[in-house]
Amino acid sequence: MEIIKCLNNAIEYIEDNLTETIEVDEVAKSAFTSRYHFQRMFYALTGFTLAEYIRNRRLTLAGEELSSKDVKIIDLAIKYGYESPDAFTKAFQRVHGVTPSKIKKGNVRLKAFPKLSFQISIKGESEINYRIVNRDKFKVFGVDFLTSTVNDALFREIPEFCDRIWEDGTHLKINELLGFNRMHMLYGIHYDFKDDGSRRFMMGWEVPETYTAMEYEILDIPACTWVVFEGKGIIPQNLVIHDVWRRIYSEWFPSSGFEQIEGPCIEKHFWDDDYYEKYTCEVWIPVKRKE
C-alpha cells in the first residue's frame, strides 16, 4: 500500500538525520503529504507525537553510546541537539529513569525505543460509515481548556473537563441560552493543534454569525469539505468514539484519496430518547483531495 511506503520513507528520513536538525515540513515531504496531515496521522497510528518519537530515538542512541563507548556527556548533548549538559541530563533521566553519569558506571538498565516500521495489517472489521459534507463558514461558542496528546493526557482530561462543566452548571447555562433542555449534549471541538501535541478542546454549539457572548469563547470555522464518520454502540460513549477515531486513521485515511487539512475537528453525540444507553456519535474532520 502506497501510504505504508510513504510512512516508512519518513521514518528512514528521521533515522538518517537524528544528529541533525529535523524539520517537521521535511519529514512530511518525505512521506509525500502535508505537515498537518502527517502529524495527525502519525500520532493516531503510534500514540505519540513526532517530537516525542524523535526525542526518544535520540535518547535511545545516546544511551547505547554511553554504555558501550568512552564518550563525554557534553559531547553527546551537543550531538543530539541539546543546548547544555543539564538539559540533556534532565531529558535522559525522564526517559531512562537514571542519569547519564550512572550509565557510564555500568550495570544499569536502559530503555530502548526501537525504530518504527509500518506494515499492512489485514483485518476483518466491519464497514466504516461516512459521508462527505460541504459547508459554508459558521461560528461556535462555548467553554474550552488546553490539553495535550502527550502521554495520552487528553483521554483523561477531556472527560474530567466535561464532568466539571456539568457539575458546576456551565453545561446547563449554555443549554438555557440556546433554548435546549438540560440533557442536550453539546459539540466537542478540537482546535488550535500545535506541534508539541497540545490543542484546545471546547464544549459548545453553533450560533448565528452576529452572535456575541463576552463570557464564552467564540470560534469561527471556515468553509470547507468535511468527512463525517458515524459510530454506534452502548455507553460508556468514550469507548465508542475512541474506536471511531482509531479506525479513521488506521483504516480510512490510509486507503482514501483524502488528507486532513488545518482546522477544527468536531465530535457530536446523540442518545435515543426511548433507550438512553443507545448511543450514536459523529466525528467531523476537514479534508481535501490528495494532489
Per-residue pLDDT for 157 more than 60?
Answer: yes
Does the CA dihedral 159-160-163-168 come out positive or negative? negative
Backbone angles phi, psi at 48, to 5 degrees: -145, 160
Alpha helices in 149-267 (DSSP H): 153-167, 170-178, 237-247, 253-255
* pLDDT for res 204: 94
Alpha helices in 153-196 (DSSP H): 153-167, 170-178
* pLDDT for res 215: 80
CA dihedral 202→203→206→210, nearest 10 degrees, is: -60
* pLDDT for res 277: 60
> What is the C-alpha to C-alpha distance for residues 163 and 159, in angstroms, rounded to an integer?
6
* pLDDT for res 1: 53
20-78: pLDDT as tens digits: 999 999 999 999 999 999 999 899 888 889 999 999 999 999 988 888 778 888 999 99
Mean pLDDT of 162-179: 93
**pTM of the model as a whole:** 0.80
Domains and CATH numbers, the chain: 2-105 (1.10.10.60), 130-289 (3.20.80.10)
Q: 78-87, 134-143, 228-237: which has the minimum mean pLDDT?
A: 228-237
Could you give the angle at the alpha carbon of 113 between the alpha carbons of 9 and 119, nearest 5°? 40
Give CA separation, 27 vs 117, 124, 172, in Å. 15, 32, 45
Could you give the angle at the alpha carbon of 244 between the alpha carbons of 180 and 283, nearest 5°? 40
120-136: pLDDT as tens digits: 665 656 778 899 999 99
* pLDDT for res 199: 96
* pLDDT for res 243: 86
89-148: pLDDT as tens digits: 999 998 888 888 888 777 678 888 889 888 766 565 677 889 999 999 999 999 999 999
Backbone angles phi, psi at 51, to 5 degrees: -60, -40
* pLDDT for res 236: 57
DSSP label at residue 152: G
Strands 187-191 and 198-207 come out as: antiparallel
Buried b (16+ CB within 10 A) or exposed e, 206-223: ebeeeeeeeebbebebee
The residue with greater pLDDT, 275 or 92, is 92
Give the pLDDT band of residue 163 (cuts 50, 70, 90): very high
149, 199 Cβ separation under 8 angstroms: yes
Give the pLDDT band of residue 221 (cuts 50, 70, 90): very high
